C-alpha cells in the first residue's frame, strides 16, 4: 500500500524521521510561504497538510481537497483557516496550544518594558552618536512597577502575563468573555472589569484575544479616545485586532503615548505604512513564540497532530472536535 502524502509548508525546527516512517513528505523549502495557487494544486492530492499562520486555508482550497484527512497548524491561533469549512468536510484541524504560552507572555513583557523604557529609541540614539553626556531628562518613560496593567483576553497567555505582572507590584485589571474563578482571580491578584473601564484606568493595555468577527478592530478610534494620554498599547495577539489607521492617529496626536506591536495588519507591515514614521511605536516581526525550545515543541506538537490524523486517530490538540 502506498504511503499517505503530506505537504509541509515550510522547513520546521525539528526532525521528521518519525513522520518519514509512515508518510511520503514534501517540504516547501523557500523562505516565503507557498503561493495560494501552489497550495491549491497540492491540496488535491495530499492526505495531510502541516501549515503555518501565513497560509490561507479557505473554503475554496478545502473544497478542492478530496483525500485530505488532517490539517495540522503549527501555531495556537488558527484564524487563517476556515474552520467551519473544514468541519463541514469532516477534516480535523490541529493546533499547538500551551507550549507557547510562556514564550509569548515573556515577549509581551519584553515589548512592554522596551516601549515604557524606550529601549529601541535609546539604541538608535546611541548609534547615531547622540550620547554626549548623562542628562537628567534624557529619554524618560513611565514607571512600570506599581502601574496599572489592563489585560484584554484572559486565556492562557493573558494569565501568564498577569503572573509576571505580580512581580512588578502592578494593579492588574482584566476583561474577557468569561470571568474566571474567584480562586484564580485571588491567586493572580487580578480584578475583572468592563472593557471601557479597563481602557480608562490602565497605564499599559496588553491584548491577548484571538482574532474573530467580534475582535476585528476591537481597538479603533473610540477605544483610543478612552485610553490615557500616557498609556502604552502592547499587541502580541493578531494584527487585525487593532485598526492601524486609528492607531496611527492616536499615536501621532498624543491620544496615547506609545505602542509595541508584534503583529500588524497586514503582515508583514508594508514599508510605506505611516506607523513606521513614528518614534513612539516598536514593531517586531511576529516573534511571540520565537524561543528555540518553544518553536521546537510547537513543531513536534504539530507533527503529533498530523500523525494522529493520518492514522485516523483523534488529534491530541484538536480545534474542531465536532468532527468526531
Ligand atoms: C502565533 O501567533 C500563534 O498563534 O501561535
Per-residue pLDDT of 153-184, as tens digits, reads 999 999 999 999 999 999 999 999 999 999 99
Residue 31 lies in a domain: yes
Average pLDDT over residues 302-307: 98
Compute the average pLDDT of residues 51-60: 98
Domain membership of residue 20 (yes or no) is yes
Out of 50, 51, 77, mutate this one to test ligand 1's pocket (max ligand atoms within 8 Å of CB): namely: 77
**First-last CA distance in the chain:** 26
d(CA 64, CA 45): 9
Tell me whether residue 288 is in a domain: no
pLDDT tens for residues 177-204? 999 999 999 999 999 999 999 999 999 9
**This prediction's pTM:** 0.97
CA-based torsion, 242, 246, 250, 252: positive or negative = positive
Q: 166 and 85 in one domain?
A: no
Evaluate: CB of 103 within 6 angstroms of ligand 1.
no
| Residue 290, φ and ψ in degrees, nearest 5 | -80, 55
What was the pLDDT predicted at 274? 98
Number of domains in the chain: 2
The model's pLDDT over 59-70, given as tens digits with 9 standing for 90+, comes to: 999 999 999 999
62 and 188 together in one domain = no
- Of 148, 183, 185, 141, give the one whose Cα is nearest residue 165: 148
- Nearest CA-CA partner of 69 in 91, 39, 93: 91
Say yes or no: 240 and 275 in one domain: yes
Handedness of CA 94, 178, 220, 252 (dihedral sign): negative
Burial of 174 (0-12, 13-18, 19+ CB in 10 A): buried
Top mutation candidate among 75, 111, 153, 298 for ligand 1, by most atoms within 8 Å of CB: 75
Q: Among residues 121, 185, 191, 267, which one is catalytic? A: 267
Identify the sign of the CA torsion 187, 189, 194, 199.
negative
Say if residue 65 is in the same domain as residue 191: no
Report the distance separating Cα 156 and Cα 140, nearest Å.
Answer: 33
CA–CA dist 170, 149 (Å, integer): 7
| Within-domain flag for 230 | yes
Is any atom of ligand 1 closer than 6 Å to the C-beta of 289?
yes
Question: Could you tell me if residue 161 is inside a domain?
Answer: yes
Residue 241 lies in a domain: yes
- Looking at the structure, tell me whether residues 160 and 271 fall in a common domain: yes
94 domain-assigned? yes
pLDDT at position 1 over 80: no
- Residue with CA nearest ligand 1 atom 4: 77
Is there a contact between 178 and 153 (Cβ–Cβ < 8 Å)?
Answer: no
Are 65 and 186 found together in one domain?
Answer: no
Kindly state whether residues 139 and 25 are assigned to the same domain: no
Cell 554626549 belongs to which residue? 132
The domain that holds 70 is classified in CATH as 3.40.50.720
**In terms of domains, do 80 and 117 share one?**
no
Evaluate whether residue 79 is within a structural domain: yes
State yes or no: is 238 an active-site residue.
Answer: yes
Residues 244 and 146 in one domain: yes
What is the model's pLDDT at position 175?
Answer: 98
Could you list the residue range(s) of the whole structural domain that residue 118 is in?
Answer: 101-283
Spatial CA neighbour of 46 closest among 79, 7, 15: 7
pLDDT tens, position by position, 230-272: 999 999 999 999 999 999 999 999 999 999 999 999 999 999 9
Asked whether residue 299 falls in the same domain as residue 207, the answer is no
Quote the longest CA-to-CA distance of the chain. Answer: 75
77 CB within 6 A, ligand 1: yes
Which atom of ligand 1 lies closest to the CA of 286?
Answer: 2
SS (H, E, C) the chain: CCCCEEEECCCCCCCCHHHHHHCEEEECCCCCCCCHHHHHHHHCCCCEEEECCCCCECHHHHHCCCCCCEEEECCCCCCCECHHHHHHCCCCEECCCCCCHHHHHHHHHHHHHHHHCCHHHHHHHHHCCCCCCCCCCCCCCCCCCCCEEEEECCCHHHHHHHHHHHCCCCEEEEECCCCCCHHHHHHHCEEECCHHHHHHHCCEEEECCCCCCCCCCCECHHHHHHCCCCCEEEECCCHHHECHHHHHHHHHCCCCCEEEECCCCCCCCCCCCHHHHCCCEEECCCCCCCCHHHHHHHHHHHHHHHHHHHHCCCCCCECCHHHC
Q: Do both 275 and 302 map to the same domain?
A: no
Which of 95, 286, 295, 304 is catalytic? The answer is 286
Is residue 57 within 8 A of residue 80, CB to CB? The reply is yes
Strands 232-235 and 190-192: unpaired
Do the Cβ atoms of 149 and 167 come closer than 8 Å?
no
Q: How far is the CA of 238 from the centre of ligand 1 (A)?
A: 8
Give the closest residue (by CA) to ligand 1 atom 1: 75
The dihedral through the CA atoms of 250, 252, 255, 261 has a sign that is positive
- Work out the average pLDDT over 134-150: 98
174 and 66 both lie in a single domain = no
Catalytic member of 208, 238, 295, 304: 238
Amino acid at each position: 500500500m502506498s504511503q499517505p502524502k503530506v505537504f509541509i509548508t515550510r522547513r520546521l525546527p525539528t526532525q521528521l524521521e518519525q513522520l518519514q516512517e509512515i508518510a511520503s513528505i514534501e517540504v516547501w523549502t523557500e523562505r516565503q510561504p507557498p503561493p495560494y495557487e501552489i497550495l491549491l494544486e497540492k491540496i488535491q492530492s495530499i492526505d495531510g497538510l502541516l501549515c503555518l499562520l501565513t497560509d490561507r486555508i479557505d473554503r475554496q482550497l478545502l473544497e478542492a481537497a478530496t483525500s485530505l484527512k488532517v490539517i495540522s497548524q503549527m501555531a495556537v491561533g488558527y484564524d487563517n483557516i476556515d474552520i467551519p469549512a473544514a468541519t463541514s468536510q469532516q477534516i480535523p484541524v490541529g493546533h499547538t496550544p500551551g507550549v507557547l504560552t510562556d514564550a509569548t507572555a515573556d515577549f509581551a513583557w519584553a515589548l512592554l518594558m522596551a516601549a515604557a523604557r524606550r529601549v529601541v529609541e535609546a539604541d538608535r540614539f546611541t548609534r547615531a552618536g547622540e550620547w554626549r553626556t548623562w542628562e537628567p531628562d534624557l529619554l524618560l518613560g513611565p514607571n512600570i512597577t506599581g502601574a496599572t496593567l489592563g489585560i484584554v483576553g484572559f486565556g492562557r497567555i493573558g494569565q501568564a502575563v498577569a503572573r509576571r505582572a505580580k512581580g512588578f507590584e502592578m494593579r492588574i485589571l482584566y476583561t474577557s468573555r468569561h470571568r474566571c474563578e474567584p480562586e484564580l482571580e485571588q491567586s493572580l491578584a487580578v480584578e475583572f472589569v468592563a472593557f471601557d473601564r479597563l481602557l480608562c484606568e490602565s497605564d499599559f493595555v496588553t491584548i491577548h484575544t484571538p482574532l474573530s468577527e467580534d475582535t476585528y478592530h476591537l481597538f479603533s478610534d473610540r477605544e483610543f479616545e478612552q485610553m490615557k494620554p500616557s498609556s502604552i498599547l502592547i499587541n502580541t495577539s493578531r494584527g487585525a485586532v487593532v485598526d492601524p489607521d486609528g492607531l496611527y492617529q492616536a499615536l501621532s496626536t498624543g491620544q496615547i503615548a506609545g505602542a509595541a506591536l508584534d503583529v500588524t495588519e497586514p503582515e508583514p507591515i508594508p514599508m510605506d505604512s505611516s506607523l513606521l514614521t513614528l518614534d513612539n511605536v516598536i514593531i517586531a516581526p511576529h516573534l511571540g513564540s520565537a524561543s528555540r525550545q518553544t518553536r521546537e515543541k510547537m513543531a513536534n506538537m504539530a507533527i503529533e497532530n498530523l500523525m494522529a490524523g493520518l492514522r485516523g486517530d483523534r488529534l491530541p490538540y484538536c480545534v474542531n472536535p465536532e468532527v468526531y
